């Protein structure tokens, strides 16, 4: 996919990645030592549980964004991970890190 929009999408994804990293940093989550850090704690308070859930969501989203950037690099960006079909441009505009086409995504939920 070598359309002019690719650079726009890359910019959006990079912005999103920065936002997510900043929010994770605010939560005190290091990108490298996060895995296992919470899991080791046997005394997780409710508040910490909420933070953990938020951190997991942010980390998952960050991973999606990084995967999408990787796909831009290897040329597979915009392809559905489930059926291999093209993801509609409108969907990518709304959610640049989308992994699935609209029909596969709707089947999953
Ligand atoms: Zn699909």
More confident site: 46 or 76: 76
Q: Show Cβ contacts of residue 65 under 8 Å, excluding neighbours closer than 6 positions.
A: 13, 16, 17, 20, 96, 97
Contact 90, 79 (CB under 8 A): no
Helix (H) or strand (E) holding 69: helix 46-74
pLDDT at position 106 over 70? yes
- Residue 108: pLDDT band by 50, 70, 90 thresholds? confident
Centre of ligand 1 to C-alpha 8, Å, is: 23
pLDDT at position 38 over 60? no
Q: Tell me: the pLDDT tens digits for 40-69?
A: 555 556 777 888 899 999 999 999 999 999
Q: What is the mean pLDDT of residues 75-86?
A: 95
Centre of ligand 1 to C-alpha 81, Å, is: 7
Centre of ligand 1 to C-alpha 91, Å, is: 12
Centre of ligand 1 to C-alpha 105, Å, is: 7
pTM of the predicted model as reported, rounded to 2 decimal places: 0.75
Q: Tell me: the pLDDT tens digits for 3-28?
A: 667 888 899 999 999 999 999 999 88
Centre of ligand 1 to C-alpha 100, Å, is: 5
Least confident among 37-46, 71-80, 84-93: 37-46
């Amino acid at each position: 996919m070598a359309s002019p929009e690719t650079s726009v999408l890359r910019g959006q994804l990079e912005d999103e990645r920065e936002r997510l990293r900043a929010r994770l940093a605010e939560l005190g989550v290091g990108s490298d030592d996060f895995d296992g850090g919470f899991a080791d704690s046997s005394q997780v308070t409710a508040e910490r549980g909420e933070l953990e859930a938020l951190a997991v969501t942010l980390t998952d989203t960050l991973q999606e964004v990084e995967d999408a950037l990787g796909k831009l690099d290897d040329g597979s960006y915009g392809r559905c991970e489930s059926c291999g079909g093209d993801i509609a441009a409108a969907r990518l505009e709304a959610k640049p890190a989308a992994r699935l086409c609209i029909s596969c995504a709707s089947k999953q939920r």
